Amino acid sequence: MLAGSIPGLLVISGLVLTLQAVLVLATGSVLLFLLQFPIANLALCILFARTAPTGRPLVAKLATEVVALRQPSAAPPGLDRFFRGVTWLWAGIFAASTIGLVILLAAEPTRVFLLSTTVVTVVGVAAGTLLSVLWFIRMLHCCGLRVRFGQA
């Protein structure tokens, strides 16, 4: 048996895929199948929002796991505020995606909805990533921090 914590990205992927599989298997309804997209976004919104006010915001954990960002043992307050704020940002992005997908689901035919799901997801992730990177650069500058690459 392996010991250690489960990576956050794996937890997120597992939750989304489990939710989608349950909906697909539990129903033959096209509407309920299509609901998996906004429901998955809602689940992500709740997951990010739940961790934002804690001492372990999800974005900080993902930054450590995905890009191996090591935080100093005595992290400056600006770094903690950044991770909490960006976690709220991603909760908001997933909330907006949920609302947008519900509206599209109600207003558009299935084919348009499925195409729109891809567009909403790509645009949301791209916008969130850009905002997160710009915010990170600004936070580094304001706190006088530097990022060093390739150091063990």
The answer to whether position 57 is within a domain reads yes
Query: Quick one: pLDDT at residue 128?
Result: 94
Query: Quick one: pLDDT at residue 151?
Result: 56
The answer to whether position 2 is within a domain reads no
Q: Identify the domain containing residue 130 by its residue range.
A: 30-143
For 145, phi then psi, to 5°, come to -95, 160
Comparing 65 with 135, the larger pLDDT belongs to 135
The answer to whether position 10 is within a domain reads no
The answer to whether position 13 is within a domain reads no
Query: Quick one: pLDDT at residue 104?
Result: 93
Query: Quick one: pLDDT at residue 27?
Result: 76
Query: Quick one: pLDDT at residue 64?
Result: 77
Number of domains in the chain: 1
Q: With contact defined as beta carbons under 8 Å apart, do 140 and 73 qualify?
A: no
Query: Quick one: pLDDT at residue 152?
Result: 52
Query: Quick one: pLDDT at residue 69?
Result: 66
63-103 pLDDT per residue, tens: 877 766 666 666 677 788 889 999 999 999 999 999 999 99
Q: What is the token pair recorded at 60?
A: 């900080």
8-51 pLDDT per residue, tens: 777 777 887 787 777 777 876 777 778 888 988 998 999 999 99
106-120 pLDDT per residue, tens: 999 989 999 999 998
Cα separation, 11 vs 7, in Å, equals: 6
Q: To which residue do tokens 């060093």 refer?
A: 148
The answer to whether position 5 is within a domain reads no
